[in-house]
A and B are shown apart, each in its own frame.
Chain A
Amino acid sequence: AQSVTQLGSHVSVSEGALVLLRCNYSSSVPPYLFWYVQYPNQGLQLLLKYTSAATLVKGINGFEAEFKKSETSFHLTKPSAHMSDAAEYFCAVIPTGANSKLTFGKGITLSVRP
C-alpha cells in the first residue's frame, strides 16, 4: 500500500527562520499528495495539495511544497516562521485508482521559538 514517511517527530525553529518539513512517498506512480495542519485542539485544515499539475504548489499562510519525482519527495517549506505556525503537520497521500483512501503520515510537531 502506498504510504508517506515523515522523518522525526518534532522540529523547532526560531521566529523568522526557514521552516522545512520533510515528506517522502512510496510509489512508482505519482499519487496525489497533501499537507494538512492541525492547530492545538482543532480539526484538520488543508494547507496545499499536489494533483499532477504544477510541481511547485503554493498553499495558505505562506506555505509551499515542491513535488520531486526523482526523490519521491513532497517537502513543505515556509521562508519565515511565525509564532502562529506552531502546530502539528501531516503529509498525506491518495493513490491513483478507484476507491483510494487518504492515508496520513505520523505527523510532525512544529515549535516556533520567539
Chain B
Amino acid sequence: DTAVSQTPKYLVTQMGNDKSIKCEQNLGHDTMYWYKQDSKKFLKIMFSYNNKELIINETVPNRFSPKSPDKAHLNLHINSLELGDSAVYFCASSQSGSPGYTFGSGTRLTVV
C-alpha cells in the first residue's frame, strides 16, 4: 500500500499543452506539498496545502495551479507548458506538529 502515490510516473508532452499530475496520500496527514527537482537535482518547494487550504505559494508562474479537493489529494495543473517546465515533480505529505515529510516517487515531466 503506497503511502504517497503520484500519477503518471512519466509524462512527455509538447510545448503549449496543458497537463495535470495527481497525488494521493493514505497516511491521514493534513498537509500536502509539491516540490520541483530541476536538472541539477535541486529541490524547491512550490506549494503547500493544509486541510485543503493554500498556505505556501512560492514564486511560481501562475500557469501552475494546485487543487486540493480533500486533504488526501493534491493535484497540479500546468497550462501552456514550456521547455523550462521539464523537471521531476514530487508530491509530499506531513502531519502538523510532527516534523518529517513523506514523498511520492515523482513524476518526470518532459516538454518537447
Interface residues as binary, B11-55 with A (CB distance below 8 Å gives 1, 0 otherwise): 000000000000000000000010000001111110010100001
Contact A32 B103 (CB under 8 A): no
Of residues 38 to 63 in A, which have CB atoms within 8 Å of B's CB atoms? 38, 42-46, 49, 51
Q: Hey, which chain B residues are within 8 Å of A43, CB to CB?
A: 90, 103-106
Report the bound CA distance from A107 to B104 in whole Å.
18
Contact B100 A34 (CB under 8 A): yes
Q: Name the prevailing secondary structure of the B interface residues.
A: strand
B97 to nearest A CB, angstroms? Answer: 10
Contact B56 A107 (CB under 8 A): no
Contact A94 B105 (CB under 8 A): no
Contact A104 B43 (CB under 8 A): yes
Interface size class of A (residues with CB under 8 A): 20 to 34
Q: How many residues of B contact A (CB 8 A)?
A: 22
Contact B105 A102 (CB under 8 A): no
Report the bound CA distance from A104 to B106 in whole Å.
16
Would A42 and B99 be within 8 Å (CB), given that A90-B43, A107-B41, A107-B42 are in contact? no
Give the residue of A44, A49, A94, A107 whose beta carbon is less than 8 angstroms from that of B103.
A44
Which A residues have a C-beta under 8 Å from some C-beta of B?
32, 34, 36, 38, 42-46, 49, 51, 88, 90, 94, 99, 101-104, 106-107
6 closest A-B pairs by beta carbon, nearest first, are A43-B105, A32-B99, A44-B103, A104-B43, A43-B106, A107-B41
Can you show 23 pairs from A to B with CB atoms below 8 A apart? A32-B99, A32-B100, A34-B99, A43-B90, A43-B106, A44-B90, A46-B100, A46-B102, A49-B99, A49-B100, A51-B100, A90-B43, A99-B48, A99-B55, A101-B56, A102-B33, A102-B45, A102-B92, A102-B94, A104-B44, A106-B40, A106-B41, A107-B42
